[in-house]
Structures are given as structure tokens and as C-alpha cells.
């Protein structure tokens, strides 16, 4: 009789029953998000339909929103203890777009505050006064995070991104043992924000919730 593989692991019925129970409770409690996310879904569908067929399902947005809130909560303690904090943000956040005068920095290009009317500049002026670093997303975000991690063993990251991308970025950070938190933008592609459609409150209120400070 062949010896059983002791290294084999299998999820049993108890796992699935328990997971289903907690998932059901989370979705029931989060059902109130449905109506709030409907407005977001309509905005996404109206302004960012390129590459997508039809409206993003509300159920998917609800799951992503709940996931973000749980990740923000779970990473809170580790993030607060990080000796170095860095914000990574999309290029579309710059109000000047392709005319943005960003400069190359240690871990990517960065905001130079080329105009006082830019939402990104408003965020980074306050963040920099609190000793935060900040860089635009690179083409390979995992490579960018790995580079940051190698130079900063005790680092926390804030991602500024859309609801369908931000949790993936936070998972990449988790793979490198980097505590990460997220600020949402109202768009479907983090590189295609119309900065004029992004209210100052979108950033300032979330930044305050994450750090206890207001930019």
C-alpha cells in the first residue's frame, strides 16, 4: 500500500461552511453599499467605457469595496509602525496630464508641484511635510515595490488607485511583506483619470482617515 503524502493539504468541509457563513454575513452587512456604489458604477460606465462591455457589476464593486476596507483595517497597525512611508499614485492624477513636469526620483518619477491647481500637488505638499515620499506608478508595479522594499526594510505604502485595481496592488505589497493602505479614485483605469473630475475631498478625507492628518 502506497504511503500517503504527508505534505498534501486539503481544505475540508468545515473550512467551506465557515467561510460561506462569514462571507454571507459580510455581504448582508455590506448590502447598504449597493445603493452608494450604484452612483459610482454609473459614473464609471459614463466616463470610462473604453475596453469594457457594459456596466461593471455592482456585486463586483461591492466585494472590492469590502475587501479594501478590510485590508485597510488589517494593515493599519503595521502601516502606523513603518519608519518610512511612501505614496504611489497614477499619472492621470496630474492635472496637466502629459505636460506634467514630473522628475525622475529614486523609485520612479515624482511630483514637482509645477502648478498650485493640481490635486496631486495639494496631497503631496502636505504628505511631504509629514516626511512621506511619493512617486508615480511605474510600468511594473511589483518591480517598483521590490526596489522600495530592498532599500527600506520598514516601509509602509499608500496606493492611490481605482476600485478594480487597488486591492491587487495591496496584494502585491503583501507578497513583499509591505503593509499597505488605499485611497480610492473615481475611475476604472488608474492611468486614465480626468483630474478635474476628482474632488479635493476625495483625497483629503481618505488621507485623513488613513493617517489622521488632512492635506
Task: Establish if 170 belongs to a structural domain.
Answer: yes
Task: Establish if 27 belongs to a structural domain.
Answer: no
Q: Is 28 exposed, middle or buried (0-12, 13-18, 19+ CB in 10 A)?
A: exposed
Q: Is 105 exposed, middle or buried (0-12, 13-18, 19+ CB in 10 A)?
A: middle
pLDDT value at position 84?
92
Task: Establish if 70 belongs to a structural domain.
Answer: yes
167: its cell numbers: 486591492
pLDDT value at position 191?
46
Instruction: Give the residues of the chain that fall short of pLDDT 50.
Output: 1, 51, 53, 190-195, 214-215
Count of domains in the chain?
A: 1
pLDDT value at position 109?
87
Task: Establish if 26 belongs to a structural domain.
Answer: no
Q: What sign does the dihedral 111-112-114-119 (CA atoms) show?
A: positive
- Residue among 207, 209, 210 nearest 199 (CA): 207
Task: Establish if 1 belongs to a structural domain.
Answer: no
**147 contact partners, CB below 8 Å, separation of at least 6:** 107
Task: Establish if 15 belongs to a structural domain.
Answer: no
Task: Give the separation between CA 167 and CA 53, rounded to whole angstroms.
Answer: 22
Task: Establish if 14 belongs to a structural domain.
Answer: no
Domain of residue 89 covers: 33-211
Query: What would the pLDDT profile of 175-195 be if each residue is shown by its tens digit?
Result: 999 999 998 876 655 444 444
Task: Establish if 151 belongs to a structural domain.
Answer: yes
pLDDT value at position 179?
94
Coil, strand or helix: which one is 94?
Answer: coil
Query: What would the pLDDT profile of 106-135 be if each residue is shown by its tens digit?
Result: 898 888 888 877 777 877 887 888 888 889
Coil, strand or helix: which one is 57?
Answer: coil
**161 contact partners, CB below 8 Å, separation of at least 6:** 90, 137, 169, 182, 183, 184, 185, 190
What is Dmax (Cα atoms) for the chain? 75
The backbone region for 180, taken as left when phi is positive above 0, alpha when psi lies in -120 to 50, beta otherwise, is beta
Amino acid at each position: 500500500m502506497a504511503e500517503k503524502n504527508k505534505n498534501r493539504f486539503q481544505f475540508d468541509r468545515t473550512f467551506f461552511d465557515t467561510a460561506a457563513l462569514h462571507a454571507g454575513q459580510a455581504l448582508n452587512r455590506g448590502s447598504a453599499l449597493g445603493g452608494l456604489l450604484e452612483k459610482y458604477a454609473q459614473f464609471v460606465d459614463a466616463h470610462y467605457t473604453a475596453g469594457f462591455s457594459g456596466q461593471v457589476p455592482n456585486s463586483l464593486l461591492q466585494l472590492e469595496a469590502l475587501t479594501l476596507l478590510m485590508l485597510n483595517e488589517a494593515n493599519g497597525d503595521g502601516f502606523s509602525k513603518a519608519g518610512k512611508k511612501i505614496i504611489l499614485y497614477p499619472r492621470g492624477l496630474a492635472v496637466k496630464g502629459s505636460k506634467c513636469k514630473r522628475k525622475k526620483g529614486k523609485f520612479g518619477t515624482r511630483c514637482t508641484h509645477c502648478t498650485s491647481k493640481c490635486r496631486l500637488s495639494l496631497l503631496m505638499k502636505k504628505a511631504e511635510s509629514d516626511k512621506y515620499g511619493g512617486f508615480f506608478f511605474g510600468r511594473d508595479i511589483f518591480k517598483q515595490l521590490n526596489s522600495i522594499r530592498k532599500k527600506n526594510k520598514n516601509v509602509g505604502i499608500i496606493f492611490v488607485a481605482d476600485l478594480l485595481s487597488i486591492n491587487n496592488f495591496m496584494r502585491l505589497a503583501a507578497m513583499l511583506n509591505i503593509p499597505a493602505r488605499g485611497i480610492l479614485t473615481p475611475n476604472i483605469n488608474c492611468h486614465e483619470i480626468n483630474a478635474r473630475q476628482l474632488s479635493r475631498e476625495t483625497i483629503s478625507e481618505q488621507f485623513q482617515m488613513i493617517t489622521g492628518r488632512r492635506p
